[in-house]
Amino acid sequence: MGFPKGFLWGGSISAAQIEGGWNEGGKSPVLVDYCTAGSTKERRQIWYLDKDGKRVHRNWEAVDELEEGCKFAFFDDLHYTNHVASDFYHRYKEDLALFKEMGYTTFNTSISWARIYPHGIKGGINQEGVEFYRDVFKTAKEYGMDPVITLYKYDEPVSLLEQHGGWRNRAMIDEFVEFARVCFTEYKDYVNKWMTFNEINIIMPRDGQKTEKNQRNLIYLHNQLVAAARATIVAHEIDSNLKVGCMICGNMSYPLTPDPLDAIARYENFQDFFCYSADTQMRGYYPPFAKRIWGKYGITPEITEQDKEDLMNGKSDFIGFSYYASGVVTTHKVEENDHTAGNVLGTVKNPYLKANAWGWQIDPVGFRHLMHLINDRYNAPMFDVENGIGLIETEGEDGICHDPARIEYHREHIKEMKKAIEEGVNLFGYTTWGCIDLVSAGTGQMDKKYGFIYVDMDDQGNGDLHRSRKDSFYWYKKVIASNGEDLD
């Protein structure tokens, strides 16, 4: 009973959200380098010049390609939270030592593509970037961690966008596979577990509209699924011991009413958002209901015979997933103020759940429920690589950030995780999201804190970046030391 021996415990971060050093060590800009912070109510904004040379900004999720004549640009009077982020680029040794002190047996971060290939294949490999990650992974390994590394996480190099026009172009597949090949080859001595695309399903259309953007996203997604499969094949060729997982944004939702139409809407929501991508990566082919989705959006991606073969030969070895909050689905009309935000998905409020300041509904039982859905469907090793809560926090007068709400959140989720394992779920690891404070992906804020380690930096750039251990730091250390038994 309880967590199996060797269960992996650790934390999760990502290159663009933690590193800073945005224009150092030969790195080229990535899309989110052009973003400023939003707030509890507003997503992060991306800034550029429109075709008349006028400065404009929009929700960063709305921008994957710029219209003809527009240009990304930096403006001196704006503060870009990503540029310094938590300054992991310069302080990784200190941070990894803190992870070690907590007793981590694993940790997850991503590799910035723009550090390895700043200008794509044709620009050549940036050796300084290669050496940076080598030292990060080597240090982690020396500190007793078995790292799980993500190749691509929300940090598309702008140079590739300029060269190829982004993921609608299949040239991106070759770019990605080459980048992956370099990473597997260079780091295989330190990294045995890999994930290809973080939350690959995040670009899945959700509003049921036949818009150009939705159609484009289905093509992007197809190209990314093929790129992930090809990278997985390459990893296995380089070293058959490498394990390569997919990583799916976990959405758990409930029907608002027992109306059968609500029930099927909820199920389709799960099929569309989770299973469309996960089935393809875990089974090696698109699920039958893909036809319904392609019909709904009025597009069928072009799937070549080679794609089919690669999807089948490049199936994932394990399923990585994230889980933060749950949502509610309904076909009935609900009042505007019965809506709330969520992890990417706007959702209907659940009267049985509390939410954080950003409206994400806290639901530990939903975590167990989702794990069962995944386990039943794929019967494969599972790794929860993200679970956490965003809170507004500061250090107290005693210099310590007291964060009982975070401890409570993780305690309840770990309890449900333990139950799930005892009920048969094949989960082999857990990394909490943002084990150290970092930039929020959705709102670009530094004020939205996720860590067990406090980082002194706010949305406006005030702070000296010093680190301090929160109460949760000591709590999680105890959890790890007891292999999940001591949760008090």
**Catalytic residue annotation:** 199, 386
| Cβ distance to ligand BG6 smaller for residue 204 or 290 | 204
Show the tokens assigned to 315: 């199936």
Comparing CA positions, the residue from 150, 21, 138, 152 lying closest to residue 86 is: 21
- State how far the Cα of 372 lies from the Cα of 378, in Å rounded to an integer: 10
User: Judging by DSSP bridges, how do beta strands 427-433 and 382-386 pair with one another?
Assistant: parallel
- State how far the Cα of 417 lies from the Cα of 427, in Å rounded to an integer: 9
250 binds ligand BG6 (CB under 6 A): no
Q: How far is the CB of 128 from ligand BG6 (least distance, A)?
A: 25
CA atoms within a 13 Å half-sphere pointing along the CA-CB vector of 349: 13
Name the closest residue to ligand BG6 (Cβ).
442
Stretch in the footprint of ligand BG6 (CB under 6 A) among 174-182, 332-340, 433-441, 454-462: 433-441
| Cβ distance to ligand BG6 smaller for residue 3 or 367 | 367
Q: How far is the CB of 345 from ligand BG6 (least distance, A)?
A: 10
- DSSP single-letter state for residue 118: T
108 binds ligand BG6 (CB under 6 A): no
Size of the site for ligand BG6 (CB under 6 A): 15
Comparing CA positions, the residue from 426, 432, 292, 269 lying closest to residue 348 is: 269
Our measurement of the distance from residue 228's CA atom to the centroid of its chain's CA atoms, rounded to an integer in Å, reads 15
Q: What is the CA radius of gyration of the chain?
A: 21
Cβ–Cβ < 8 Å for 369, 377: no
Binding positions for ligand BG6, 434-453, rule CB under 6 A: 440-443, 448
| Cβ distance to ligand BG6 smaller for residue 40 or 482 | 40
- Applying CB under 6 A, which of residues 279, 386, 403, 416 lies at the interface with ligand BG6? 386
| Cβ distance to ligand BG6 smaller for residue 60 or 104 | 60
Q: How far is the CB of 111 from ligand BG6 (least distance, A)?
A: 14
Q: How far is the CB of 238 from ligand BG6 (least distance, A)?
A: 26
356 binds ligand BG6 (CB under 6 A): no
Q: How far is the CB of 237 from ligand BG6 (least distance, A)?
A: 28
110 binds ligand BG6 (CB under 6 A): no
| Cβ distance to ligand BG6 smaller for residue 54 or 354 | 354
CA atoms within a 13 Å half-sphere pointing along the CA-CB vector of 359: 22
Cβ–Cβ < 8 Å for 401, 391: no
Q: How far is the CB of 159 from ligand BG6 (least distance, A)?
A: 22
- Applying CB under 6 A, which of residues 433, 452, 454, 476 lies at the interface with ligand BG6? 433
Comparing CA positions, the residue from 193, 192, 200 lying closest to residue 176 is: 200
14 binds ligand BG6 (CB under 6 A): yes
Our measurement of the distance from residue 287's CA atom to the centroid of its chain's CA atoms, rounded to an integer in Å, reads 23
Comparing CA positions, the residue from 174, 173, 270, 154 lying closest to residue 219 is: 173
Q: Which DSSP string corresponds to 35-100?
A: EE---SSS--EEEEE-TTS-EEEEEGGG-SS--TT-EE---TTS--HHHHTT-HHHHHHHHHHHHH
| Cβ distance to ligand BG6 smaller for residue 215 or 440 | 440
Q: How far is the CB of 12 from ligand BG6 (least distance, A)?
A: 8
- Applying CB under 6 A, which of residues 26, 390, 429, 484 lies at the interface with ligand BG6? 390
199 binds ligand BG6 (CB under 6 A): yes
- Applying CB under 6 A, which of residues 223, 269, 322, 356 lies at the interface with ligand BG6? 322
Binding residues vs ligand BG6 (CB under 6 A): 14, 17, 198-199, 249, 322, 343, 386, 390, 433, 440-443, 448
